[in-house]
């Protein structure tokens, strides 16, 4: 690991100020320290935010939840309110990483974790995300874990989070604090950038901008599930995942909130797919049309071609599960 200055932030304002002048926040550190050992990330200064008062989960006035950025993945998954009202998020968290990692990984850090693309980690190989302008080794390399939607010719990395996929389906918003005290709220769609010409730029966050919380809207009615398809039964990243919230009324779908992991550089959501399903009676034909729409622009790069039919089958299966009672 390269040497770095270590500072323990006293409060959020100081943390934002210190990070704005070249520091990198560290919370759980489970991804950052891994990358620092490999010298993929080489921060000159670490701003330890673990002592900040961002570790609470509180109810909001409109019946939602405000999740402090430092709430661990374990504490969030186990929260009784979350398990009852937002089970898709609890399920997504429990599907991610290992017991040890969930005890350390935080809400804010999980959102900002980096891709697990093999070439991002391999400093001997070109990677536009790690070293802009050097090229993308993955497009013609070992890319079976990589993206089929939202890619560019410069990068086909996936965002690895399960948590963020469920948050995207739930319409969660991220609260941030900027250097100087300004705050803003961003949807997850707004937070993440697609790779385009600059895959090294992954979010709209400015230097020093600190995620302070994630706000969930009030619970919605309907069935929720998180389906994760992966190479082994536990402790593996998603090849394809679907976070689904579906509500039925009189045999018709009245709500279909769907987000996808493993397919794209950000948690993926497609409003057209949801519009197509809404108001319709469930059927395999309908679900396949939804998959057609979801995957119309999908592009495989050889080893990850299988993700396109896998995403279709996973979506159809999830929709069957979530509409099952109404079909009987």
> Is 3 near other proteins (CB under 8 A)?
yes
- The window from 33-41, 52-60, 140-148, 198-206 that contacts other proteins (CB under 8 A) reads 33-41
In whole angstroms, what is the distance from residue 137 CA to residue 159 CA?
17
> Is 325 near other proteins (CB under 8 A)?
no
Identity of the residue, 235 or 306, whose beta carbon is nearer to other proteins in the bound complex: 235
Sign of dihedral through CA atoms 139, 290, 257, 270? positive
Instruction: Name every residue whose Cβ is closer than 8 Å to that of residue 202 and which is 6 or more positions away in sequence.
Output: 112, 114, 129, 192, 193, 265
Identity of the residue, 57 or 95, whose beta carbon is nearer to other proteins in the bound complex: 95
Identity of the residue, 12 or 187, whose beta carbon is nearer to other proteins in the bound complex: 12
Identity of the residue, 162 or 173, whose beta carbon is nearer to other proteins in the bound complex: 162
227-264 burial, b for 16+ CB within 10 Å, e for fewer?
A: bbbbeeeeeebbbbbbbbbbbbeeeebebbbbbbbbbb
> Is 321 near other proteins (CB under 8 A)?
no
> Is 149 near other proteins (CB under 8 A)?
no
Sign of dihedral through CA atoms 295, 301, 150, 93? positive
Region 101-130 residues binding other proteins, contact defined as CB under 8 A:
101, 103-104
How many amino acids of this chain bind other proteins (CB under 8 A)?
A: 37
> Is 326 near other proteins (CB under 8 A)?
no
Of the candidates 23, 64, 72, which has an alpha carbon nearest to the alpha carbon of residue 45?
23
DSSP characters for 135-151? -BSSTTSS-TTS-SSS-
Region 83-102 residues binding other proteins, contact defined as CB under 8 A:
83-84, 87, 90-91, 94-95, 97-101
Interface residues with other proteins (CB under 8 A) are 1, 3-6, 8, 26, 28-30, 33-34, 37, 46, 48, 50, 74, 77-78, 80, 83-84, 87, 90-91, 94-95, 97-101, 103-104, 233-235
């Amino acid at each position: 690991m390269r040497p770095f200055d270590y500072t323990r932030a006293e409060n959020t304002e100081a943390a934002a100020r210190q990070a704005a002048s070249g520091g990198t926040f560290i919370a759980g550190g489970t991804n950052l320290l891994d990358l620092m050992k490999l010298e993929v990330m080489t921060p000159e200064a670490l701003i330890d935010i673990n002592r900040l008062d961002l570790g609470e989960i509180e109810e909001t006035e409109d019946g939602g939840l405000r999740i402090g950025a430092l709430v661990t993945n374990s504490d969030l998954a186990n929260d009784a309110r979350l398990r009852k009202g937002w089970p898709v998020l609890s399920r997504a968290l429990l599907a991610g990483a290992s017991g040890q990692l969930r005890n350390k990984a935080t809400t804010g850090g999980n959102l900002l974790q980096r891709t697990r693309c093999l070439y991002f980690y391999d400093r001997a190989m070109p990677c536009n995300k790690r070293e802009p302008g050097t090229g993308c080794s993955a497009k013609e390399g070992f890319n079976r874990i990589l993206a089929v939607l939202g890619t560019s010719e410069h990068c086909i990395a996936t965002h690895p989070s399960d948590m963020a996929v469920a948050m995207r389906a739930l319409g969660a918003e991220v609260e941030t604090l900027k250097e100087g005290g300004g705050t803003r709220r961003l949807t997850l769609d707004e937070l993440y950038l697609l790779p385009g010409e600059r895959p090294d730029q992954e979010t709209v966050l400015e230097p020093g901008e600190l995620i302070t919380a994630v706000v969930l809207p009030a619970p919605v009615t309907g069935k929720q599930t998180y389906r994760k398809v992966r190479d082994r039964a536990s402790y593996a990243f998603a090849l394809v995942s679907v976070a689904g919230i579906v509500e039925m009324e009189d045999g018709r779908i009245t709500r279909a909130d769907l987000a996808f992991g493993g397919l794209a550089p950000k948690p993926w959501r497609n409003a057209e797919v949801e519009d197509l399903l809404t108001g319709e009676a469930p059927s395999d034909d309908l679900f396949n049309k939804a998959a057609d729409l979801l995957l119309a622009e999908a592009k495989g790069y050889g080893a990850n071609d299988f993700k396109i039919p896998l995403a279709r089958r996973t979506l159809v299966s999830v929709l069957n599960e979530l509409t099952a009672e109404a079909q009987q």
